[in-house]
Structure 1
Amino acid sequence: MMTSTPVNEELLKTSVRQLSVINRFGSDKDKEQPADPFPAIAMPAHNGLDGLIRPVVSGSDSCLAKTYHHEALAPYSFANAVQAFTKAGQLGIGAKLIASDAATESLFLEYLNQGWETAVVTDFKDPNRLAKLVEVKKAWHIKGSSKLDLSAFDVFDAYQSVWNALPNPLPMPVNTDITMEKLAAIVGEIQQAFKVSGSDLAILHGENTMSNVLISDKDDIKLVDFDRTTISDPMWDIAAMSLEVCTDDDDRNQLLEMYFGATTPALLARLKLYSVVDDAVWAMWALLGETNPYRKGPELYKYAANRLVRIRHHLSSSDLSKLIKEM
């Protein structure tokens, strides 16, 4: 007769696991009275949504302790995140990884709080700074590291499988006019088009909101969060960036020129199609987060609604079948 090991519900709580790892790696002061965690914010920034983050001292290093919420990384993995963070620190593209702990799914990262600030969208209205960001992304695409080869469509399918298994899934936001069936059909149609056209491969950053960029007082740039690095089509990263920094096709073509050296109608069509898929992926991620007791709370349902509204806008302003033909 098979038996299952009882789950310790306390250890599924992120705060319990983080305090456990701080007691092993943190300073005496952190053990006695750890600093307050950074607040989780979904909009307009995108911070602290996958885990609990707080400043600590480990040895002589000022660090950020990041402990992932239960199931927050799926279908990605903690091992992949450790490998990616390690490589990013070695390349100087991201903060250095000081320590990691698989048992609590925790990272201790270099705390870049002196001379560095979190970027906002308006920082990249300057085309020279935007070009610099594109170069950093491109450097990661070439030199980065990932154990995984998940496409945007693989991630969407993984999220949809979890959604379909929920006993009581949330209702879709009514202001979007998009059902789950319609969303899956849109993503499926785009996926078939990319299967026919083929895709390049690179090591993606996967975290493309501007709050995942740091700018120094010398105008240097580093990337934040390598939780979702994967080997996939680099256009996915570029399209996700475009959702942040582009308002029209002139902006999108400028971004494409910065990355590829030139733009074409086919490249623009691919960017627009991946933009829709990226919004679909993150909408699903947020909806699932709202059903997870360890992640729900910081406006995730509204965040999903905003992503779905943008899909509706893009589909109303662009003909999906025409974009597929153009690519």
Structure 2
Amino acid sequence: MTTTTTPAADPRLQMQERLPAPATMASPSWWGADSERYRLPVGPGGEPAAFVKVVREVSTAYVDVAGSFAAAQAAGLAGLGPRVQSVGLAERVLVMDDHSATCRTATSEAFLDDAVLERYLAARRAVQHLDVPAARRASVFDDIRTVHAAALRHGAQLPDDLAWMLRILAVAEERITAAADREANPDTGAVFCHGDGNVSNVLLDEAGQVLLLDWDVAAVMDPLQDLGAVVSELTSTEDEARELFERAHGSWDRSAFARCRLYGVADLVRWALIGSYVDSVDPGTLEYSKFADWQFLRARWALAERSLDDRLNDL
């Protein structure tokens, strides 16, 4: 049984190895930006090496720490993520088994391998069967409202056309909700999902086993929202998006595809707002603002597509 006691008493914390910050990146990325990370060596009593995540206080504006850690525990018990050794909610500390020696962080290129992609999709489907009583229930649109409010409170720099983006997403949310109420469609049945399509939250071992990390946006949600985040991350053309959708969904469904794609755009705006918010409360690095600008740019492209009206109508 995974413990929920404070890990601060662990003697290995005196020997902790703080992981270095990533080098300045030429391309926008979000890698450990909302937490501090440490490695703990094998303990004097034979305790396994550990990877420690400490959620930064500024991240609590958009992260439900208790729900995120509960999801990590459930995933670890199910073999879908690293096993959780201990949790300290008050300190926002999560101690997990360290897979650094046996796993690598995934990149988009890794999922060009059909076998790896299939295992990844299977892992995300398996998440839907996890029992996480502490899980929050929220959509990406709810998260957008939460982090947008936080960004405004802290005077974050936001693009002039954000109001336009939010207006279109409000229409999408309204139509998605109306379609769910109108149709007895099993796809609209909310289930627990990981919710974050970022490939840097995936560990791959040499045999291709998939482990999922970082459950900060996990929630009970429409499963097509989870798929939308994945499709947005792994594809760059409409044909690629449709192919991946059909593979993950099991069949072609125009309405479900439209919902999936609009969720993906909303996910871009959510992460753009998160980047803008964190940049406002933690200035001094360009990582957050670069990431926000890139996500806003991708959302802007998607919302300016000629096919947008068709997507909204297909809902």
Q: Say yes or no: TM over 0.5.
A: yes
State which of 94, 97, 109 in structure 2 corresponds to 1:107.
Answer: 94
Task: For residue 222 of structure 1, give the secondary structure of its aligned residue in structure 2.
Answer: strand
Aligned residue number for residue 260 of structure 1: 249
Residue 62 (1) aligns with residue 49 (2): yes
Aligned residue number for residue 323 of structure 1: 311
Q: Greater CA deviation, 189-198 or 88-97?
A: 189-198
Are the equivalent residues in 2 in contact too, given 1:65–1:109 (CA < 8 A)? yes
Q: Residues 259, 226 of structure 1: CA spacing in aligned structure 2 closer, same or farther, 3 A cutoff?
A: same
Give 1:34 deviation, angstroms.
3.1
State which of 269, 273, 297 in structure 2 corresponds to 1:280.
Answer: 269
Task: For residue 72 of structure 1, give the secondary structure of its aligned residue in structure 2.
Answer: helix
Give 1:47 deviation, angstroms.
1.7
1:241 maps to a residue whose letter is: V
Q: Greater CA deviation, 68-77 or 110-119?
A: 68-77
CA distance in 2, matches of 1:254, 1:205: 21
State which of 185, 190, 193 in structure 2 corresponds to 1:201.
Answer: 190
Are the equivalent residues in 1 in contact too, given 2:7–2:95 (CA < 8 A)? no
Aligned residue number for residue 300 of structure 1: 288
Residue 49 (1) aligns with residue 38 (2): no
Give 1:45 deviation, angstroms.
4.7
Aligned residue number for residue 18 of structure 1: none
Aligned residue number for residue 251 of structure 1: 240
Residue 162 (1) aligns with residue 147 (2): no
1:286 maps to a residue whose letter is: G
Q: Greater CA deviation, 89-98 or 191-200?
A: 191-200
CA distance in 2, matches of 1:318, 1:93: 39
1:158 maps to a residue whose letter is: T
Query: Where do 1:1-327 residues align within 5 Å?
Result: 24-27=9-12, 30-31=13-14, 34-40=16-22, 43=27, 45-57=29-41, 59=43, 60-145=47-132, 146-166=134-154, 168-172=155-159, 178-198=160-180, 199-293=188-282, 297=285, 299-327=287-315
CA distance in 2, matches of 1:214, 1:286: 23
* Per-residue deviation, residues 137-195 of structure 1 (Å, max 9, x unmatched): 000022252520011111011112223333x33242xxxxx523222212211111111
* Per-residue deviation, residues 46-101 of structure 1 (Å, max 9, x unmatched): 32111100101373220111111113033432211221111001100000110111
CA distance in 1, matches of 2:278, 2:284: 5
Task: For residue 32 of structure 2, give the secondary structure of its aligned residue in structure 1.
Answer: coil
Give 1:299 deviation, angstroms.
1.1
Give 1:40 deviation, angstroms.
4.8
Task: For residue 82 of structure 2, give the secondary structure of its aligned residue in structure 1.
Answer: coil
Give 1:44 deviation, angstroms.
5.3
* Per-residue deviation, residues 259-307 of structure 1 (Å, max 9, x unmatched): 22101222221122111101111111110010113x8635111111111
Aligned residue number for residue 13 of structure 1: none
Unmatched segments (≥5 aa) in structure 1: 1-20, 173-177
CA distance in 2, matches of 1:165, 1:46: 22
RMSD over aligned Cα atoms: 2.1
Return the TM-score normalized by structure 2. Answer: 0.87
Are the equivalent residues in 1 in contact too, given 2:37–2:51 (CA < 8 A)? yes
Are the equivalent residues in 2 in contact too, given 1:73–1:227 (CA < 8 A)? no
Task: For residue 59 of structure 2, give the secondary structure of its aligned residue in structure 1.
Answer: coil
Count residues in correspondence.
297
Are the equivalent residues in 2 in contact too, given 1:265–1:326 (CA < 8 A)? yes
Q: Residues 264, 98 of structure 1: CA spacing in aligned structure 2 closer, same or farther, 3 A cutoff?
A: same
Are the equivalent residues in 1 in contact too, given 2:28–2:294 (CA < 8 A)? no
Unmatched segments (≥5 aa) in structure 2: 1-5, 181-187
Are the equivalent residues in 2 in contact too, given 1:26–1:58 (CA < 8 A)? no
* Per-residue deviation, residues 211-236 of structure 1 (Å, max 9, x unmatched): 11111111111111122210011111
Give 1:128 deviation, angstroms.
2.7
Q: Residues 119, 45 of structure 1: CA spacing in aligned structure 2 closer, same or farther, 3 A cutoff?
A: farther
Q: Residues 215, 45 of structure 1: CA spacing in aligned structure 2 closer, same or farther, 3 A cutoff?
A: farther
Are the equivalent residues in 2 in contact too, given 1:242–1:275 (CA < 8 A)? yes
CA distance in 1, matches of 2:284, 2:123: 32
